[in-house]
Structure formats: C-alpha cells, structure tokens
C-alpha cells in the first residue's frame, strides 16, 4: 500500500523558514517523480514544485521560485521542501504527491497524495 506522510508544518513568522518532509512507503521511491501542491484557506489547489525520480530535474511555480527548494533522499524514501523567505500568502495546507511517471517531462498525473501539513505564516 502506497502511503505518503507529510510533516514539518507549523506557525512561522514572515521572512522565516520551514522544512517540510514527506515519508513515502509501499513503492520503489526512486521510480517516481514527486510533487508538492498546496491549498490556501478557502482557495483551490496550486501546484508548487516537482522533482524527478533521480532528483536530477526540478521545476517550480513562479510564486515560489528562488525561495523554495525541493529535494529527495531516495535511500530514505523521503521528499523535502525547504521554504525560505516565507510570506503570508504561503499559508496553506501542503500536500506531497506521487507522479505516475519517473520523469518530470512525462506529463503524468499525481496518483497518490498525502493528508497534508498546515503551514501558517503570521506574526
């Protein structure tokens, strides 16, 4: 059974940093690209970032480019999102999701999702 479990959310001041993690199990982690998607309160889903199965390719939404860094530790089956220079508009539930394919160019859907972790940016 595929399970994705996010952690690391919490309350942080504007300008602060936070590191999210997503522990994966039930599949060969390095075979699949992984994404982060967020949902701000009362809003829809927003794609944030993606990393290929090997970790060699990444992409970001313009809204987080230069502030967020996605990474993965394949031996530990863990996905990370380092979030710096946080702003109020980054307040959201952050979901990690598994892509059906291994390459970010595969145009794949996300077939498994975690339950999400809440990040609140406020003073």
Residues of this chain that bind other proteins (CB under 8 A): 4, 35, 37, 44-47, 50, 59-62, 95, 97, 100, 104, 107-116
Give least dist CB 108 to other proteins, A: 6
Which C-beta is closer to other proteins: that of 8 or that of 59? 59
Nearest distance from residue 88's CB to other proteins, in Å?
21
Please enumerate, as own/partner, the contacts of 51-55 that have beta carbons within 8 Å and a separation of 24 or more.
51/79, 51/104, 52/102, 52/103, 52/104, 53/29, 53/102, 53/103, 54/30, 54/102
Choose between 38 and 80: whose C-beta lies nearer to other proteins.
38
Name which of 59 and 74 has its Cβ closer to other proteins.
59
Report the alpha-carbon distance of residue 101 to residue 33 in Å, rounded: 6
* 90 phi/psi in degrees, rounded to 5: -85, -5
Identify which of residues 89 and 107 has a Cβ nearer to other proteins in the complex.
107
CB of 39 to other proteins, least distance (A): 8
Taking the complex as a whole, how short is the minimal distance between the CB of residue 123 and other proteins, in angstroms? Answer: 27
Contact between residue 33 and residue 106 where contact means Cβ atoms under 8 Å apart: yes
Whole-number CA gyration radius for the chain: 13
């Amino acid at each position: 059974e595929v399970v994705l479990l996010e952690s690391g959310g919490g309350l942080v001041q504007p300008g602060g940093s936070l590191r999210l993690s997503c522990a994966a199990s039930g599949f060969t982690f390095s075979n699949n690209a992984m994404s982060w998607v967020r949902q701000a309160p009362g809003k829809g889903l927003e794609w944030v970032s993606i990393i290929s199965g090997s970790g060699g390719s990444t992409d970001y939404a313009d809204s987080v480019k230069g502030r967020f860094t996605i990474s993965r530790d394949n031996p530990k089956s863990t996905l990370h999102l380092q979030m710096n220079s946080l702003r109020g508009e980054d307040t959201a539930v952050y979901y990690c999701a598994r892509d059906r394919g291994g390459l970010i160019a595969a145009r794949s859907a996300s077939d498994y999702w975690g339950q999400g972790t809440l990040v609140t940016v406020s003073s």
